[in-house]
Amino acid sequence: MRKISIFILSAVAIHSGLQALAQEPSPGANSSQKPFTYEDKGKRDPFAPLLDADGNMVLYDNELILTDLTLEGIMVSSKVEASIAIINGRIIKIHDRIGPFQVEMILKDRVVLKKDQETVQLKLKKE
C-alpha cells in the first residue's frame, strides 16, 4: 500500500509540474522583448548559407557598401605597387577589388577606392 501511495504522489507531482510548465509563456511570446538581431560588424553572417538552392557558391562581397568597410592597417612602400592595406581583415594591394570597390591608391593614412565613376576614401582611424 505504501508503494502505491508513493507512486500516486509522484505521478501527481509530475503532472502538476508539467501543467505549470505548460502555462508559462514561451520566451518569444513576451512582446516587450526585442527580437535578436545579428551585428555583422563588416563580416559575413555565419548563419547565412554558403550555397544557393542550385549548389552554387553565394558571393556576399558584391553586397558591401562603404559603411561595411573598415580600414584596419596600412603599410606603405617606396614602390607604389608593393603598398598594402588591411580592410575587413583582408590584405589588399592597388588594383585589387573588395566587393564592388577597386583600390586606386594606398597612402600613409588612407585608401582611395573607386566604384563605377565615384571615388571614395577610407581613412585610418587614430586611437
Which tens digit of pLDDT belongs to each residue from 53-102?
A: 777 666 566 666 777 788 999 999 888 889 999 988 889 999 998 888 89
pLDDT at position 34, please?
76
> What's the half-sphere exposure (Cβ side, CA atoms, 13 Å) at 22?
6
pTM of the model: 0.52
Which of 84, 93, 89 lies closest to 61, judged by CA? 89
The grid coordinates listed for 32 are: 516587450
* β-bridge mates for residue 97, sequence order: 102
pLDDT band of residue 9 (cuts 50, 70, 90) is: low
**Residue spans per domain, the chain:** 33-127
Fold of 33-127: SH3 type barrels. (2.30.30)
pLDDT at position 94, please?
94
Per residue in 10-39, pLDDT (tens digit) is 555 565 655 655 555 555 555 567 777 777
